Chains A and B, each alone.
Chain A
């Protein structure tokens, strides 16, 4: 091999490289998209969970919306109050009112109060259990306790209580909607955190029949209807239903005469005592679906 061919090939490759390099440089100058320099920095300030709870397609899309002023920083429910202030300070805008929502479980029928009529043996997931003859729980509407929600939660906000009932940690919940979608019985729903009055039951049976399957079931006795402001609560098909359009009328008096404790006044943490017990039982172990009832 002579020197000429070596130099020749270097020159050709170098020439090709230079030409394309020049083309790229030109394209870069011509087709440049101006991006707000604040976008990258703001994205760093956001939690980066990409949970979608704000309603935007991930944290970066949310950052764009905040910069354009389309939504206040408070729409992100994952940030703490200080982090929200940091974002607001950085952009020089008002943080906005935190309209924080949390997931609430509309069932209180843990294994201590709701009995099983049959054992379920099969794939250990709520969806699979519910597909097989309703999962074997006496109450066909209640939580079956295989922790699909806890598995779906990205923030470790749901832990299973010793009675196989998921407990949502009100401080960790970001209202991302994952548990709402995971539950095959639609027992989770998102509510503003400052809303207090809930019927923790979805059972459609009346009176004694309801109590027979679960001691904390709503029996449709209408006492809460009488005690609450008119129109706030009504009983349909054996179940008390709260009209959340009129929630500003809520009042702890409605729960006082409930014979089963199905209607509750929640201040912050749902199932406060269970929550303590669940945290104790968990003691740092990661969320795992619990074993089938053998």
Chain B
């Protein structure tokens, strides 16, 4: 009661939407381990940043946990074999983002015990922050909430900022998904251990875990296991989408606003997904790199909804089969939730480090809707969590006036889908904005390349003269 009241007083974040959460099917299901499939496929680009550099070739024997791709640069992480076996091939393979990218196919050895090679488990309390960051990067840890941004990059305050608070994201605001929920309920100690390591690395002494109120058991379990020497607060938040977006969570938990185009560090905090924190704890518990993750497989189109531990690189087809297969009216398979998830055209696409769930929708949810003209009702303005004007932006997008959209702060749009969700005319606003952002990005890239070429040409001319 007191918690609820304090949150109400704090006010959470403004705008946003309230989609039905549909978490009931899996919220109470314990995490199960999925058996190893016959083959795992590991794309070399599973994270935001430079793809990993290939380290193996066809025919090589690899053990579970062996590095098969090396990080290229700072904003990059290595890729590890998620099962022991033989490299069947290195080839183009369907990537969950719809393209084909270079991937390592490993034929899983059915006789292997699937135990990683013995390795030294680093003692976290002896390590300097730099060494912790290196260990985290080496283990290939990325944000497990979906964006797959390399975690070690966020473990350092950017120049000129001071981190006062570690903010742990347990909001899990996407409908259907329950993987973070189950981690908090089943492994609260692991979460607290991860928090301890991160607090030391970031040199902060306060931590807040933001959890939406529809997960009372998670709040309770986390509260019951807080170590006595850590200043950790579990903050129940009013259920609202997109609470799990970094900037919304900071507004809800700290009452601060991250300036446009700036990082959470500029508001004095770092936000880490609760799943990533548990993954970091695991490195320092077992020494294993990130080779498996917890995935919620759910939706009305799947026969046996489950929370599963799945080796990274398992094909969606194998996962769906393990969960009893698709129902007859299944229509759309999404990686991630229904609001921001990526529809999958090819079920051979593998589960990646950033895949938090596989949601299967049926004809009833995914049926095409007729789009009507905008009636300027303004519902989208009340929904937009970053206070943009989707009505106006939508009209500009239809006219292809992308530059004017940028002047109206299109860059702040995170394509959360709230505007599309509330639109009574079913206008696909979110898709239009994603498209506009892509077009602007390509145009900027083109201009940059042209300038670069011009600079090179003039340099050459200068050298010749």
Question: Interface residues, chain A, CB within 8 Å of chain B?
Answer: 117-118, 121-123, 127-128, 131-136, 140, 204-206, 209, 292, 294
Contact = CB atoms under 8 A, between A and B. Distances in A.
23 contacts: A117-B345, A117-B346, A118-B343, A118-B344, A121-B366, A122-B428, A122-B431, A123-B431, A127-B439, A131-B434, A131-B435, A131-B438, A132-B98, A133-B345, A134-B98, A135-B98, A135-B345, A140-B98, A205-B92, A205-B100, A206-B91, A209-B91, A209-B92
The main secondary structure of chain A at its interface with chain B is loop
Nearest to B347: A117
A204 B93 CA distance: 11
Given A140-B99, A205-B100, 14 more contacts: A118-B345, A123-B428, A123-B432, A127-B438, A132-B343, A133-B97, A133-B342, A133-B343, A135-B98, A136-B345, A140-B94, A140-B100, A204-B100, A292-B368
The main secondary structure of chain B at its interface with chain A is mixed
A206 B91 CA distance: 9
User: Closest 6 CB pairs between A and B?
Assistant: A134-B98, A133-B98, A118-B345, A121-B368, A136-B345, A133-B345
Contacts of B428: 122-123
Contacts of A135: 98, 345
Nearest to A121: B368
B435 A123 contact: yes
A294 B368 CA distance: 8
Contacts of A140: 94, 98-100
Contacts of B434: 131
Interface of B: 91-92, 94, 97-100, 342-346, 366, 368, 428, 431-432, 434-435, 438-439
Contacts of B435: 123, 127-128, 131
Nearest to A204: B92
A164 to B, nearest CB: 17
Contact of A134 (B92, B345, B431, B439): B345
A205 B348 CA distance: 15
Contacts of B94: 140
A131 B431 CA distance: 9
A132 B434 CA distance: 10
Contacts of A292: 368
Contact of B431 (A128, A204, A209): A128
Contacts of B366: 121
Contacts of B100: 140, 204-205
Contacts of A117: 345-346
B126 to A, nearest CB: 46
Contacts of A206: 91
A122 B344 CA distance: 14
A131 to B, nearest CB: 6
A161 to B, nearest CB: 23
Q: Which of B343, B428, B431 has the most CB of A within 10 A?
A: B343
A134 B428 CA distance: 17
A122 B431 CA distance: 8
A229 to B, nearest CB: 30
A206 B89 CA distance: 13
Contact of A132 (B346, B431, B439): B431
B275 to A, nearest CB: 24
Contacts of B343: 118, 132-133
